[in-house]
Structure 1
């Protein structure tokens, strides 16, 4: 096993920064993997119910409206899942992204450039492929962003199932790529899928987010030490910010990211121990990730994936629909082509090189996994086409087919690579000292902060 190098000109994909960080990311992987399995179960249940003799009851449940109209909050259950529950998922994405930007790999250009470049390539090429496929078809180009997203929960679930011995840099590369990819998707939703904006509610939402941030920063030790205080104080303020942003016309899931970016991810200045050293972001991740992976995302998938396929005729129609063709081609072909082409171009025009522990075939497997665009792609499909439209239904069918194809093809490659790395691990014994920390982390350079090394 190669000893980690401190030369930042190598492609760090990016690599682990110490045993504490490895344990943290491993915990995220486990929880996201469980969430991915639940997501698949919920989606399958929705598809079966939507095509069963009792399908009317599914659509009646999905379209059942609850709420208070004067506040623009009388929504169907499906809309509550997409606008409300998915905000929890984006809150966690925002926390992870801020952590990477402030104390993680994305704060350094040398390590941020790789996943950011890969994510940009993985967004641009699928979009171009989709636009090329639907060119000349009126109204279909508005779905260009559907194949640009990566479902982090689904992709990580597949990686966890087939990649027990894959190199650590490969795993963190997928996580970082997916987080950056989600950031781009958030920007796309905010810019391209917001039509009419009500200025007053938007200004109020920004002000409420600012208040939320001031309270979170000033009283971080209180909220990190007593989770009940966070539920009683910060949660109501966050709900108010979400409600006003929803009323403004901006997609309400953006509120999750905005609120997350106000949460402190490192200790207060000069604090080394005690309450002032509390990591509030870690506390919130610990509290909210099970809620997101175990409830919010699966419920959204249940209401979003239910499509009446219409038997063989419906499948044939979807197979010949330019929307479906563009989405499948964009996710299954465009994602890996864009990611690999972007990284390869980077290595050709700069001094950045692939890390010695990785091979291009490893990145191919992960790039194919990035073609699993389930959750965010379904959300963008709902924003692109009217509910119940043929294009919208075909888009959802295509997303599920493409995600399944990407998962199967990627699994084939990664299983073979995992077998190879298992053989290497059998040949190289990594001992553990009495403290239970693997020597590979003890031999690495000492970290300069709790989140880097």
Structure 2
């Protein structure tokens, strides 16, 4: 009698995808470092004697009346630069659905359920906190997002080499998390909807899809179509970042003669701009909370602040770790032999680092510059910092194990460019007896 082996959670994938994820996360790590710099500069400036200059810079308007655009620099960062960020998210989502972990329903189930639970539980805990403390439930969606760049920057600082399977899981989790967040923004944070403008936006969207699927047109023709879509969506009342993720999802993921998809080529151009400029600049304008004239004790005990912190630090762990554990029991799966549940616990704490999208939702929920928005920023910064510290403490305990796994996953004795462990896995799959 042959026993069927139990399925494995977080097993090592194929080399091409592992290589791609590693390259992508290296770029995000650099972006995370720049994001941290932008945040620190904003915090120092907003609490310096020149804080009024920071506020004036944020509110300085750059308008284009002919296009119906009247935006401050802070809003250009939130509505314009983050549209580029979400375009990169859309490209990554499309790749995941076609070539990545999300293409296999069985393999995709765990990160999707974990991401959904990691959104729902923080939102529920935030609402419960507001009900108990008689606070404002408008910001229920704030602690739902995970900032992958910030999380990777933390890993770089502590020098932790997560195994490739855990890195892929973290990336997939964050991408699905972003998709849910952008859906929340589209449904719950849209006001004064203009149907004619929205209908008109369909024209450049369709043309974008046609050009993207036609190899005879140069790729740069997508730029004016993308800008036209962004302008129309912005004027429709829907948050302009929605345009970015929609266009990203429309880019085909079919490999060409060079072995690369158009999405990969565009991502190669867009990702450095997004991670190296767009997100850090948004962080600079969004994270500058001034505490000079603020009662710190009152701000930290405000229901909104506490709700955000509880959602990020507790809700993400309960949601991600709890859902992963339940899925493992439901599917009768075991963790990969090299891994332990403490690794998943540390990963769940990393997921509590919510920054870029959390700050954006805070502005949409309470209005940029409001007292509640300042408390949101304080809650996001505090919750993300606590999650980062706790994740570092948990993951550092296993750093020797991660170092050994990293050595195995990068060892290439025959110097053919493919780590030996992936070749052994491929040979095992090919030569497996019936």
TM-score (norm 2): 0.93
For 1:106 and 1:8, the matched residues in 2 are separated by 23
Structural mapping, 1:46-445, within 5 Å:
46-135=42-131, 140-162=136-158, 164-219=160-215, 229-231=218-220, 233-267=221-255, 273=257, 278-310=260-292, 313-422=294-403, 430-445=411-426
SS of the residue corresponding to residue 306 of structure 1 reads coil
How far 1:70 moved relative to its partner?
Answer: 4.9
Measured after TM superposition, the shift of residue 353 of structure 1 is 3.1
Q: In structure 2, how many angstroms separate the alpha carbons of the residues matched to 1:285 and 1:446? A: 32
Residues 346-369 of structure 1: CA deviation (Å, up to 9, x unaligned): 122233332333211001111000
SS in 1 for 2:203: helix
Counterparts in 2 of 1:425 and 1:394: CA distance versus 1, 3 Å: closer
Cα distance in 2, alignment partners of residues 104 and 314 from structure 1: 48
Q: Aligned equivalents of 1:138 and 1:199: distance in 2? A: 37
User: For 2:103 and 2:225, how far apart are their aligned partners in 1?
Assistant: 29
Kept after mapping to 1: 8 A contact 2:163/2:405: no
Which whole-Å CA distance do the structure 2 matches of 1:36 and 1:447 have between them? Answer: 38
1:417-449 superposed Cα distances (whole Å, 9 cap, x missing partner): 12233356679994421323211121222799x
Partners of 1:59 and 1:261 lie apart in 2 by: 36
Q: Is 2:135–2:304's contact at 8 Å kept on the other side of the alignment?
A: no
Separation of aligned partners in 2, 1:265 and 1:429 = 28
Structure 2 match to 1:10: 7
The separation in 2 between residues aligned to 1:384 and 1:118, in whole angstroms, is 25
Cα distance, 1:353–1:382 mapped onto 2, change above 3 Å: same
SS at structure 2 position matched to 1:405: helix
Task: Kindly provide the CA deviation profile for residues 163-216 of structure 1, in whole angstroms up to 9, marking residues without a partner as x.
Answer: 544321111110110001111101100111112210011011122111101111
Alpha-carbon RMSD across the aligned residues, in angstroms, is 2.3
Please state how far the C-alpha of 1:137 moved relative to its aligned partner: 6.7
Mapped contact 1:17–1:447 kept (Cα < 8 A) = no
SS of 1:75's partner is: strand
Q: SS where residue 334 of structure 2 aligns?
A: coil
* 2:20 match: 24
- State TM-score, norm by structure 1: 0.89
CA distance 1:278–1:122, shift in 2 (3 Å): closer
- Verify: 1:44 aligned to 2:40, yes or no: yes
1:318–1:394 CA contact under 8 A, matched in 2? yes
Does the 8 Å CA contact 1:13/1:111 hold for their aligned counterparts?
Answer: no
The CA distance in 1 between the partners of 2:180 and 2:409, in whole Å, is 40
Measured in 2, the distance between the counterparts of 1:423 and 1:113 equals: 29
Secondary structure in structure 2 of the residue aligned to 1:443: helix
Preserved CA contact (<8 Å) 1:167 1:357: no
Task: Note if contact 2:410-2:419 (Cα within 8 Å) is conserved in structure 1.
Answer: no
Structure 2 stretches lacking a partner, 5+ long: 430-434
CA displacement 1:232-263 (0-9 Å, x = unmatched): x1101100000000000010001011101111
Q: Secondary structure at the match of 1:196?
A: coil
Distance 1:250 1:405 in 2: 33
Q: CA deviation at 1:121?
A: 1.1
Give how far 1:9 is off: 6.3
Q: How far, CA to CA, are the matches of 2:264 and 2:5 in structure 1?
A: 27
